[in-house]
Amino acid sequence: MKKLILAVFFMVSSVGLLAQEFTAMSYNIKYANENDGENSWSKRKVFLANQLKFYHPQIFGVQEAVKSQIDFITAELPTYRSLGVGREGGVQGEFSAIFYDTKKFEVLKSDTFWLSETPNQISKGWDADYHRICTYALLRDKETGEKFYFFNTHFDHRGKEARTNSARLIIQQIKKVNVENYPVLLTGDFNLEPETEQIQYIKSYLNDAKEATAAITLGPSGTFNGYDFQTPVTRRIDYIFHSEEINVETYAVLSDNENGRYASDHLPVFVKIILK
Query: What is the model's pLDDT at position 19?
Result: 63
- Domain-located, residue 4: no
Model pLDDT for residues 141-163, shown as the tens digit of each residue: 999 999 999 999 999 999 999 99
Cα–Cα distances (Å) from 205 to 171, 186, 244, in that order, read 8, 11, 9
Pairing status of strand 98-101 against strand 59-63:
antiparallel
Whether 72 is covered by a domain: the verdict is yes
- The CATH number for 131's domain is 3.60.10.10
Residue 137 lies in a domain: yes
Q: What is the pLDDT of residue 216?
A: 84
Residue 213's pLDDT is what?
A: 62
CA 215 to chain centre: 20
236, 194 Cβ separation under 8 angstroms: yes
In a 3-state reduction of DSSP, which class is residue 194?
Answer: coil
Instruction: Provide the b/e sequence for 39-69 (b: ≥16 CB within 10 Å).
Output: bebeebbebbbebbeeeebbbbbbbbbbbeb
Q: Is residue 260 a contact partner of residue 39, using CB atoms and an 8 Å limit?
A: no
Tell me, what amino acid is at 240? I
The domain containing residue 118 runs over which residues? 22-275
Q: Is residue 111 part of a domain?
A: yes
pLDDT at 20: 83
Count CA atoms closer than 13 A to 222's CA, side-chain side: 15
Whether 15 maps to a domain, the answer reads no
Whether the pLDDT of residue 17 is over 50: the answer is: no
Nearest 10 degrees: CA dihedral of 80, 85, 86, 90?
Answer: 120
Q: What percent of the chain has pLDDT over 90?
A: 90
Q: Is residue 61 part of a domain?
A: yes
Which one has a higher pLDDT value, 89 or 212?
89
Q: What is the mean pLDDT of residues 48-76?
A: 98
Percent of the chain with pLDDT over 70: 92
In whole angstroms, what is the distance from residue 25 CA to residue 252 CA? Answer: 9
Q: Is the model's pLDDT at 196 over the cut of 60? A: yes
Angstrom distance (rounded) from CA 267 to CA 256: 8
C-alpha to C-alpha distance for 152 and 147, rounded to whole angstroms = 17
Per DSSP (E only), the strands in 161-275 are 184-189, 207-208, 216-218, 238-242, 246-253, 269-275
Q: How many domains does the chain have?
A: 1
Average pLDDT, the chain: 93
Taking only the tens place, the pLDDT of each residue in 211-264 is 876 678 899 999 999 999 999 999 999 999 999 999 999 999 999 999 999 999
Q: How far is CA 264 from CA 32, 40, 45, 268, in A?
A: 10, 9, 9, 9
Does residue 28 fall inside a structural domain?
yes
Position 158 in a domain: yes
pLDDT(105) > 80: yes
Which residues lie across from 151 on neighbouring strands? 136, 186
Q: Residue 271 above 80 pLDDT?
A: yes
- What local confidence, expressed as pLDDT, does residue 215 receive? 75
